[in-house]
Structure 1
């Protein structure tokens, strides 16, 4: 008997299977076993079993296969298809999923996974809910998980580690994140497989375990953090779940979000969404409306006075970190840039820090251009805003947070929530996606205000403030999404059209002709190159190319046709950023 396995090690693209001959014992597709490989033993996933092999005269023979665990037979296929869409080898994909196998393995042969598929047959396989409160209520995530646990294994996928911790506290179940130690991670997903009615919460790195689940619940599926966009392999947890749904007809998928993604307009209509109706006050910036606290209007200051008098907690979202946004000379407009990547640096009182690569450097004593010492010509940062707010309201519970801290913090009930600048809450993103990210972020914060019965103060420029209330209604959301779709369609950007991003590293010459010749597809359009800006000096320069396939090609066909370009650089079939 010959077995074809996917080794659990990083390998170049193009390496798929390795064959071994099993002379004694049993083996099954989906078994994770130990095999000899380059003078050591490594884990490998059995993907095929055959009485013959094309490499019968070269294969290594194995007697009494050392089994680690029995996975479902669909896992090898899921691994292969995910690797195909990520343009990496299946071995690299499996290695990313498994992390490190413990050196000491159990002596007994691993059990076959128990299955229990008694879920109601009249319920649809794929359900989508868009709610103001994603966690509580009949269709909320917590109640759904508790109810579905009786129908089999429940895997909850959430975008952020802080969400994993919150859901663990509410559901009293294990969680899996990048901070989980390798040994602990091994035990967590082994226990999940051993329990026919368990619940496991994981970030995107645990999405492959949906092959072992009966019900998958996705928390906020519209969130970009489901995509691993920096490290290799560049996979998307949502794609893995979609592949698994195709491979396993019994799998149920339940999506619970707040805002339908722009992708839903492919169907021509927006799904039902709950209107968001927070207690909200909008404050436009004006020179006459300034207060004793920088970046806050007089009306917002009055709201803080009322909240402080009532004993309500105050939470301020301010997207600028440090003491000031930029170290900029007030006399000549010079500003300090990062020596590593060229990005402007934030003032953190004791030092300067790059907001892109986090490099630190001492603060300059004076401007190198004019020798001036006034560096106050920039927007106030979180640290300074916190000091000013606490000085004006010494007895109040006030916390000023940047975007990261806000996303990981819980919102106190009946508090005062303040957005200092609406335009900044979508985070850094390219112009083509700025409105989409802004609308999604604003609706998320509005939902927080509704769920905690908090008052929401929104500051910003009048043109944007006039639009934002409509984003909270189903009709207004549909209108802004249709406009976004038309803009993407006009400029041939996703999701209106397919776009493949090719990242070429350490090559300065224009490779457009080389790409066209290698691809050899006259119906494809090649745009670029564009240099990636603000990169650290320790990294090699990068160029970005956009490959536009004809609309009639499926994603599978596109993946197959671009494989010839793998040696030229990194290929991203489903980019969430287009120019970096």
Structure 2
């Protein structure tokens, strides 16, 4: 008998599997993880199918099982679907799922008996049996304040599941994983920051049944079909989507696919994103509705925090760097009465280049990070790109540019000189918090930087989601929230506390994206061509000729990739824009010749532009 095996290796598109001979006495079935000889080493792969014959001769034999793990056929179906959707090979997707594996793993069975006795070839697999107790009917995405810990929130819903159900919880931030796991006694954790062995122990122990609940970031999303129930924390957050190079995938898409297999899937958040909003309110063809709020499956909750907005004015900066005079008064009044914390998004000592007239901040065109002034040049602390200093603001044309945004180090120094006690946090540090001290004072020094300094079409949506999350945290713990912002944004953020006005903003945002042919109103395929501009032009011309029969599909480019590292070859970007209802198979039919070329693909990318 022959085992058709998908190796966990980064192979080019078109290299999908290899045939191996099955030694006598080794009983294998589809879904088994095995060790196979590949070149001069042993690699791990998954059995896709068992065949009677092969087109090849002198096949190498399968070495052995890997930890006696057998995955469900639904997981194999997810592997096929994600490879097709991400325009990647199956081995590359499997490699992204499994990562680096230990050489001597503990068997899932925990025993050394014959594998045929441990893992009978039945569906679903014995390593992940169906639950013995019935699961409740899943609900639409639940939007509610304090969505994790409220009586009807995520934690409460998890505790209501049958005691023998295997539960997977996906959260956008690694910092939340141990906090949720601690709340659910006996749960295990899985994040990308873990070493090889702890990560393997987490997911293999989940299959083995050592721990019934697994809390993971998107790195564990491939296990959705192995779970009985999947819970998604803050589905509106983009951190559920992979943003590295091929293959790129979205944990939310995997969960939706698992739901089609009958897996119980529920999501809990506070604010829908435009993508969810569009599916709920704007069936094809998209059209604005007069009352979009009422059309959502679940009402967007109103928020009522103790909120104070402070308009940023260049003449009202206080003696403490980064704080307006009114915010400093609030901070001084809190001394000795309530704990105080300041959220300040700017790193280091010096500030980023900023326009004093309109508030424009210089950002890196390569990675979107804020630029700092270094001598007579602008430099990026993240990717180390260097640019010439701007002579005028590209937004308003003003010439009043200065290093007017101090960093956290300077803010801490100023607070100490004034004998003011307050904790100062970055945005990342703040997102790690799950619980504020009761009645605390929270000061956000610049609302416009709450989601970073990069500018794209989703900036307002992300800002609304992040601000509502901050307001919800303050409301839950009776904290006073002081927000510094430019006058227009200070007025707008008050509207975001209203669920109905938030829905109206999302509807308007969706309509704007529809006009500019951007996701989610349209599907966008970003192509990265490695080579000369002439090569990119030829590839895009080929796509235009193949899409001639699709009048609604547009091909754009090429756009140069600027400020690339000296070690990286020349690259260009191309876009293929299709209506939202276009099937992936139709897009694949157009780009089929490019699948064999040296081209990277990203469907519905996080970064919309070059």
Same fold at TM > 0.5: yes
Q: Does 1:283 align with 2:310?
A: yes
1:155 is aligned to 2:168: yes
Equivalent residue number for residue 476 of structure 2: 451
How many angstroms apart in 2 are the aligned matches of 1:441 and 1:322? Answer: 23
Cα distance, 1:190 vs structure 2 = 1.6
Residue 352 of structure 2: which of 318, 326, 350 is its match?
326
1:469 and 1:573 map into 2 onto residues whose CA distance is 35
Whether the 8 Å CA contact 1:155–1:199 is kept in 2: the answer is yes
Aligned mates of 1:461, 1:342 — CA distance in 2: 21
- In structure 2, the partner of 1:19 is 19
Correspondence for 2:225: 211
Task: Find the residue that maps to 1:511 and give its secondary structure.
Answer: helix
Q: Deviations over 1:527-571 (max 9, x none)?
A: 123333444444444322211124552234324543432324211
Q: In the TM superposition, what whole-angstrom CA distance separates every residue of 1:334-369 from its partner, at most 9, and x where no partner exists?
A: x9999x9998754799xx973332689xxxxxxxxx
Contact 2:528 2:574 in 1 (8 A): yes
Q: Which runs of 5+ in 2 are unaligned?
A: 120-125, 282-294, 387-400
Q: Which segment is superposed worse, 516-525 or 172-181?
A: 516-525
Aligned partners of 1:130 and 1:273 also within 8 Å: yes
Distance of aligned partners of 1:418 and 1:33 in 2 relative to their CA distance in 1, 3 Å threshold: same
The whole-number CA distance in structure 2 between the counterparts of 1:403 and 1:62 is 50
Do the aligned partners of 2:31 and 2:73 also contact (CA within 8 Å) in 1? yes
Give me the whole-angstrom Cα distance separating, in 2, the residues matched to 1:342 and 1:114: 43
Kindly state the Cα deviation for residue 214 of structure 1 after the two structures are TM-superposed: 0.5
Residues 305-454 of structure 1: matches in 2 within 5 Å? Answer: 305-310=332-337, 312-326=338-352, 345-346=371-372, 354-357=380-383, 377-394=403-420, 396=421, 398-410=422-434, 411-454=436-479
Superposed CA deviations along residues 462-498 of structure 1, whole A, max 9, x for unmatched, are 1111111111211111110011011101100001111
Helix, strand or coil: the match of 2:335?
helix
Aligned with 1:527: secondary structure?
strand
Please give the alpha-carbon distance, in whole angstroms, between the structure 1 residues aligned to 2:589 and 2:439.
54
Aligned residues: CA RMSD: 3.2
By how many angstroms is 1:289 displaced? Answer: 3.8
- Is contact 2:300-2:500 (8 Å) kept? no
Decide whether aligned partners of structure 1 residues 560 and 130 sit closer, same or farther in structure 2, where only a CA change above 3 A counts.
Answer: farther
Q: Does the Cα contact within 8 Å between 1:30 and 1:74 map onto a contact in 2?
A: no
1:260 aligns with 2:261: no
CA–CA separation in structure 1 for the residues paired with 2:580 and 2:148: 38
Q: Tell me whether 1:164 sits opposite 2:194 in the alignment.
A: no
The correspondence of residues 111-130 of structure 1 with structure 2, limited to 5 A, is 111=119, 112-120=126-134, 123-125=136-138, 127-130=140-143
Match status 1:50 vs 2:51: yes
Residue 517 of structure 1 aligns to a residue in which SS?
Answer: helix
Is the partner of 1:294 in helix, strand or coil?
coil
Instruction: Tell which deviates more after alignment, 194-203 or 534-543.
Output: 534-543
Compute the displacement of 1:443 (Å): 0.9
How far, CA to CA, are the matches of 2:220 and 2:528 in structure 1?
Answer: 27
**How far, CA to CA, are the matches of 2:482 and 2:21 in structure 1?**
68
Q: CA deviation at 1:200?
A: 0.6
CA deviation after TM superposition for structure 1 residue 575, in Å: 0.7
CA distance in 1, matches of 2:76, 2:8: 12
Q: Give the 3 Å change call, closer, same or farther, for CA 390–169 of structure 1 in structure 2.
A: farther
Matched, 1:176 2:190: yes
Tell me by how many angstroms 1:140 deviates.
Answer: 1.7
Question: 1:252 offset after TM fit, Å?
Answer: 0.5
Q: Which residue of 2 aligns with 1:368?
A: none
Task: Tell me, yes or no, if the aligned pair for 1:285 and 1:460 is still in contact at 8 Å.
Answer: yes
Alpha-carbon distance change, 379 to 114 in structure 1, aligned in 2, over 3 angstroms: closer
Which whole-Å CA distance do the structure 1 matches of 2:478 and 2:515 have between them? 41
Per mean C-alpha deviation after superposition, the further-off stretch among 500-509 and 461-470 is 500-509
Contact 2:205/2:211, CA 8 A, preserved across alignment = no
Quote the offset at 1:30 in angstroms: 0.8
CA pair 202-440 structure 1, distance change in 2 beyond 3 A: same
2:497 matched to 1:472? yes
